[in-house]
Amino acid sequence: MFFKILTVVGLSTFEIYAAIPAGFAFGLSPWTIFFSTITGGLAGVFLVAFLGDKIKNLFSRYKKPVAEKEKKTANLAHRLWAKFGIIGLGFLGTVTVGAPISIAVGVGLNVPLKKLLAWCCLGVVVRCLVFTLGGHYGLKLL
């Protein structure tokens, strides 16, 4: 049982969408799945947040400078950042694509890390709750 829970925690560190179905496949209770995915999801958030600057510095060290264009066009991440701000990047980004990607984009955009972490943690909790409840009641319908 311990290794099943540890597997769910490890999977949810990177992707909650894989961890919750794995927990149900292992036959774990919904509460165990919920707390395991929260633990792993929050560990993933803090892991990426604290290693993000080091990874960014590593890539920037080997990146060749690009000549600036006269007219810059905003890419999708910048447009989303301009439209929704830190709440959109932290909460909505975590719920849709995942916390590690949201943190990585935030580090790339030089977002205040403490605020981004707070919104990402809230997004992880909501995402775990919604998908665990959906899986539990979905299996009851079968």
Is 80 exceeded by the pLDDT of residue 40?
A: yes
**Assessment of whether the complete model's pTM goes beyond 0.85:** no
Q: Which residues of 98-129 are buried (b: 16+ CB within 10 A; e: fewer)?
A: bbbebbbbbbeeebebeebbebbbebbbebbe
Of 16, 9, 4, 45, nearest to 129 by C-alpha is: 16
Is 70 exceeded by the pLDDT of residue 129?
A: yes
Is 90 exceeded by the pLDDT of residue 79?
A: no
